[in-house]
Amino acid sequence: MGEESRLKILCILRQNIYCVCEIEKHVNLSQSLISHHLKDLKEAGLIQDEKKQQRVYYFLTEKGKNITELLFSIN
């Protein structure tokens, strides 16, 4: 279940830069669980974050982009 959720988040971030509340609209998970997955993805070097005003926005790193491109090419 955890891997599937992280893959969904990576796919969402492949499209754009989002904050947790925006990611929540695309997945059926609580903000706290999304934040936990984002932390894991950040530790793996797949995403980075940037604080803008009162929100933190997440986006794919080059490594994250390469992995999502590979996953999409397999399908």
Domain boundaries, position 36:
2-74
**In this predicted structure, what is the pLDDT of residue 74?**
83
Q: How many domains does the chain have?
A: 1
Among the listed residues 63, 25, 56, 22, the one whose alpha carbon sits nearest the alpha carbon of residue 39:
56
Q: Residue 54 is part of a domain; what is its CATH number?
A: 1.10.10.10
Q: How distant is the alpha carbon of residue 60 from its chain centre?
A: 7
Backbone angles phi, psi at 20, to 5 degrees: -60, -45
> DSSP assignment of 21-60, as one string?
HHHHTTSSS-HHHHHHHHHHHHHTTSEEEEEETTEEEEEE
Taking 70 as the pLDDT cut, the residues of the chain under it are: 1, 75
**In this predicted structure, what is the pLDDT of residue 75?**
64
| Run of H or E including 55 | strand 55-60
Token pair 């790193």 in the structure block, residue: 61
| pTM confidence score | 0.89
